[in-house]
């Protein structure tokens, strides 16, 4: 059975377009689903950085506690065959909650390592389907700062199979934007 990790990042929760699209994607894919709502993930800070860059065998109990959520999030990724990411566009980029998740999962020695040839991802290969929703920012346009960013972050941790399902123009005509995205979902292979 396929293990699917669902990542929701909209502050609107189940009322968001991306939440509805991820529901449709999951119905299309099937599989065993783990759900992660990023809206409760804290931002990283200096204490977190200190813990992350301390060798595991030298971490204090406090440092281990600091990294416990990060460890859990990384374990979810590693256990998944497919990631389904709900990515609404706020002010041309990813949401704050999605950025908090990204910062928690990008960890040296866990999801990437540095080599003489540059960083090497350790979390792939995986399939990713991103449910992209924007009020008026077209996917891949010059003002879309989110899609290239999420592809770069995922590639950095070793995940390069990324597909986007886009509901563009939600602020103009939400029903039409969602219908276009649903048509894209129908073409996804399970």
pLDDT in tens, 149-163: 999 999 999 999 999
Report helix, strand or coil for 94: coil
Share of the chain above pLDDT 70, in %: 100
The binding site comprises 10
Beta bridge partners of 133: 88, 167
pLDDT in tens, 88-112: 999 999 999 999 999 999 999 999 9
pTM above threshold 0.85: yes
The binding site for FMN comprises 10
Q: Domains (ranges, CATH) in the chain? A: 3-186 (3.40.50.360)
Convert 8-40 to b/e letters by CB count within 10 Å (16 or more is b). bbbeeeeebbbbbbbbbbbebbeeebbebbbbe
Beta bridge partners of 163: 129
């Amino acid at each position: 059975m396929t293990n699917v990790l669902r990542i929701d990042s909209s502050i609107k929760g189940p009322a968001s377009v991306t939440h509805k699209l991820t529901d449709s994607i999951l119905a299309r894919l099937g599989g065993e689903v783990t759900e992660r709502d990023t809206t409760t993930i804290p931002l990283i800070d200096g204490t977190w950085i200190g813990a992350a860059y301390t060798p595991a065998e030298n971490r204090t109990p406090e440092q281990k506690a600091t990294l416990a959520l990060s460890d859990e999030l990384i374990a979810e990724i590693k256990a998944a065959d497919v990631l389904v990411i709900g990515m609404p566009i706020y002010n041309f980029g990813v949401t704050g909650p999605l950025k908090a998740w990204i910062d928690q999962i990008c960890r040296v020695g866990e999801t990437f390592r540095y080599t003489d040839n540059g960083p090497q991802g350790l979390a792939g290969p995986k399939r990713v389907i991103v449910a992209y929703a924007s009020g008026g920012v077209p996917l891949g346009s010059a003002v879309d700062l989110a899609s290239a960013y999420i592809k770069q972050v995922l590639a950095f941790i070793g995940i390069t199979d990324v597909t986007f399902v886009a509901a563009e123009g939600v602020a103009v005509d939400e029903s039409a934007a969602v219908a276009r995205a649903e048509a894209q979902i129908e073409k996804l292979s399970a």
